[in-house]
Every structure is written in structure tokens, then in C-alpha cells.
Amino acid sequence: CRQIPPAIMTYGEESGGSSTLPGGNIVAPARRRRCAHPRPSRQWAEMEREALARLILDQLPRFRSRLYLADAEALAQLLRRSPMAEVMSGDYAWSLCFEPAFVASLCWEGFLPICSELGGNGAPGLFVLMPKLHTHRCVLEPSAMHIPRKVRKRASAYRLTVGQAFEAVVDGCAAQHRPSWLFPPLRAALSALSAASRA
């Protein structure tokens, strides 16, 4: 992922004639096309990353107050300067980078990687990574947990494994939540990380 110069991250530049759908979805400056399912659109792939970031900032006000993370190197530089909790305003940052190394860095730093589609039906396939940093977390200490006998008896029918069925787990999450945050670019990054850990 290329890093977007700081000047691009400021609001106020013209969007080049693009418009917004009702509900705040971004519509590409080029022609609009309807799709039955989300798939990467050529119009987004052909746009320069800087122009795409300007379009997002221009049309979606909520992104103006969120921290933009260009890639793993930008995240590392930011963390060298100050703790993440001091830099962020709110729980979410955003990025146009889906490189597996960047997603791994986000997870290591405590972010939950979430993918969101901004294009909507008018221009599907505009995906943004929205890392979420929870300020409060629930941590379970297995040694301090009391598990009632009835629960243990029911649980004996199940087997807990780690790293054995990654794709099935991701498919199960997507089936449970629909692809509301597990869109194709994030799934591809997570699958690449899983495959690299097995290699």
C-alpha cells in the first residue's frame, strides 16, 4: 500500500463531480452500475489511492475525525511517537490497505480488523478497513473460571482445537453475521495469515 501524503488527508478539496447516494453511500465519479452482489468494481480499482481517500473524506464526514492508517510502517511510526489511545478520537481508525502484514500488525496492537463496504448498490466493491480499538475489554482467565458440572457435561460432546479449521470458522462467522464485516478483502488477508502460519 502506498502512503497517502498528509495533504490528502485534509478536507476541502473538490471531489471531481462524484455524488452521494441516500444513506451516505459513495458513488464513483464514473458511470453507475447495479450489481446483485458485492464484488470488486473496476472503477474503484482504477482510481489512485489518493483520489479514493479524497473521495471518502469528501463524502463521508465521519471519516474526517478518524485516524487514517496507511500501512504497517505508518502504524509503527505512530506508535513510536505516542500510545494509540492518545492518538485516536473514538474507537475506529480507517485504512485502504488490506495487506496481510498490516492486518497482523493491527491485531498485534489490539485492534479488531473490520471491513466495511462503502460503495453500496450504486457502485459495489469499495471496501475500507476499519480497525476498532476497544478501550475496555473483557478478559477471561481460564484458571479463574468456575464451570458448572452441567455445562461441563454438555461441553464434553465438543472438541476445542486451534488452527485446524480456519476457513470453516470464517465461513461460520460470515453465516452468523452475514458478511457485515467479513467482506472479501479482509477474508483474503486473514486466509493469507492463516496459510502463512501453517507453512
Provide the pLDDT for residue 199: 65
Distance, in Å, from the CA atom of 187 to the CA atom of 108, rounded to the nearest integer, reads 17
Instruction: Give me the sign of the Cα torsion angle 9, 11, 15, 21.
Output: positive
Residue 155: CA atoms inside 13 Å, Cβ hemisphere, count? 7
pLDDT band at residue 134 under the 50/70/90 scheme: confident
Model confidence pLDDT, tens digit, residues 3-61:
333 333 322 333 333 333 334 444 444 333 333 334 456 777 778 877 888 888 888 88
Residue 125 has pLDDT above 50, yes or no: yes
Whether 5 contacts 34, CB under 8 Å:
no
Classify strands 127-129 and 115-117 as parallel, antiparallel or unpaired.
Answer: antiparallel
Other Cβ atoms closer than 10 A to 27 = 21
The residue among 39 and 188 whose pLDDT is bigger is 188
3-state secondary structure at position 180: helix
Whether 25 contacts 118, CB under 8 Å:
yes
Provide the pLDDT for residue 115: 92
Q: Which residues pair with 129 in a beta bridge?
A: 95, 115
Q: Which residues pair with 20 in a beta bridge?
A: 26
Distance, in Å, from the CA atom of 123 to the CA atom of 115, rounded to the nearest integer, reads 16
Which of 20-24, 41-45, 109-113, 137-141 ranks highest by mean pLDDT? Answer: 109-113
Closest CA to 92 of 118, 64, 56: 64
Distances (CA, A) of 79 to 53, 84, 86, 87, 106: 22, 6, 10, 9, 11
Whether 127 contacts 25, CB under 8 Å:
no
Distances (CA, A) of 81 to 51, 87, 130: 28, 10, 22
The mean pLDDT value of the chain amounts to 76
